[in-house]
């Protein structure tokens, strides 16, 4: 049996296995996509919190990316934790050198436990240098507020934020609205001309460690398999919802991981609806 695509994750390592490259590689495998990694940081982490962070040198980050792309190649790639400006600039250089087009960026800034994962000085570098190269960026509400510079309290605010982020260069913006409402989660995709809305049930659970990593990895996997961005998001959202719903209850004492070993659906009716700007 053959893999249906090849995907690279450029992100940090989570020793607890619920987020970062561990979550990404588990997700790629669930989608039958061959997964590869370039580790940017090593974290001492579990379901309770992050106790230590060690950044890999930019040179080694770059060499990992080169090793993968010069031999195996990729159909899509994603970035997760990029802790400092030097690492971001190295990743940007490699993206340009190898002409990575299907790039998903999860602008990881803070862990679920509240621990900062992006240094303050690196935020500007990420926004100014990485975002213009990105195919789709997937900020949560907190991250979207930082990138857009506005407060988000409603769907209209999220739409405005998506538009402002789009103007910074990415081809598509997916603002994840899971923290906006108590009864349903609404994510908003803006492609520069139209808004698309993805609604799903809001699940009351503490097992949400690594959800941002997992969703962006699932989108990356869909793109690696040749899906268009709206279809990739749709299938990724379904996968994410079932991974949360089926999350194990016996992993750790804090915010537990989702269940990555969910089989993605091969077909689904369109669940996004759109409005023109």
Catalytic (active site) residue 51: no
Residue from 27, 125, 208, 220 carrying the catalytic annotation: 208
Q: How far apart are CA 152 and CA 143, in angstroms?
A: 10
Q: How far apart are CA 22 and CA 250, in angstroms?
A: 18
Residue from 210, 222, 252, 256 carrying the catalytic annotation: 210
Structure tokens at 170: 């990415």
Residue from 20, 79, 213, 220 carrying the catalytic annotation: 213
Q: Report helix, strand or coil for 10.
A: strand
Which candidate, 130, 90, 75, 93, places its Cα nearest to that of 108?
130
Residue from 80, 177, 212, 256 carrying the catalytic annotation: 212
Residue from 6, 102, 112, 176 carrying the catalytic annotation: 176
Which candidate, 115, 136, 108, 101, places its Cα nearest to that of 218?
136
Catalytic (active site) residue 176: yes
Structure tokens at 118: 């992006």
Question: What is the Cα 43 distance to its own chain's centre?
Answer: 18
C-beta contacts of 123-128 below 8 A and 24+ residues apart: 125/85, 125/88, 125/89, 126/82, 126/88, 127/168, 128/168
Catalytic (active site) residue 5: no
Instruction: Give 254's DSSP letter.
Output: S
Residue from 79, 211, 214, 220 carrying the catalytic annotation: 211
Which candidate, 197, 238, 257, 186, places its Cα nearest to that of 31?
238
Catalytic (active site) residue 275: no
Annotated catalytic residues are 176, 208, 210-213
């Amino acid at each position: 049996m053959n893999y249906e695509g090849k995907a690279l994750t450029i992100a940090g390592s989570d020793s607890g296995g619920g987020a970062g490259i561990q979550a990404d590689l588990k997700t790629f495998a669930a989608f039958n996509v061959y997964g590869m990694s370039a580790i940017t940081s090593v974290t001492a982490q579990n379901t309770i919190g992050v106790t230590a962070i060690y950044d890999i040198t930019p040179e080694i980050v770059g060499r990992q990316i080169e090793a993968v792309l010069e031999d195996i190649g990729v159909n899509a790639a994603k970035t997760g934790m990029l802790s400092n400006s030097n690492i971001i600039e190295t990743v940007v250089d490699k993206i340009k050198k190898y002409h990575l087009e299907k790039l998903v960026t999860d602008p990881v800034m803070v862990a679920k436990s509240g621990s900062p994962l992006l240094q303050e000085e690196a935020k500007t570098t990420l926004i100014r240098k990485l975002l213009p190269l990105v195919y789709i960026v997937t900020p949560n509400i907190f991250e979207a507020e930082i990138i857009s510079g506005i407060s988000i309290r409603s769907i209209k605010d999220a739409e405005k934020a998506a538009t402002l982020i789009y103007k910074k260069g990415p081809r598509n913006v997916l603002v994840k609205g899971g923290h906006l409402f108590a009864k349903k989660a609404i994510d908003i995709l803006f492609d520069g001309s139209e808004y698309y809305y993805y609604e799903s049930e809001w699940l009351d659970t503490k097992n949400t460690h690594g959800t941002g990593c997992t969703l962006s990895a699932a989108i990356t996997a869909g793109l690696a398999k040749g899906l268009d961005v709206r279809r990739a998001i749709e299938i990724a959202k379904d996968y994410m919802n079932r991974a949360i719903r089926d999350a194990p209850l016996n992993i750790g004492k804090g915010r537990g991981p989702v269940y990555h070993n969910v089989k993605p659906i091969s077909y689904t009716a369109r669940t996004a609806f759109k409005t023109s700007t």
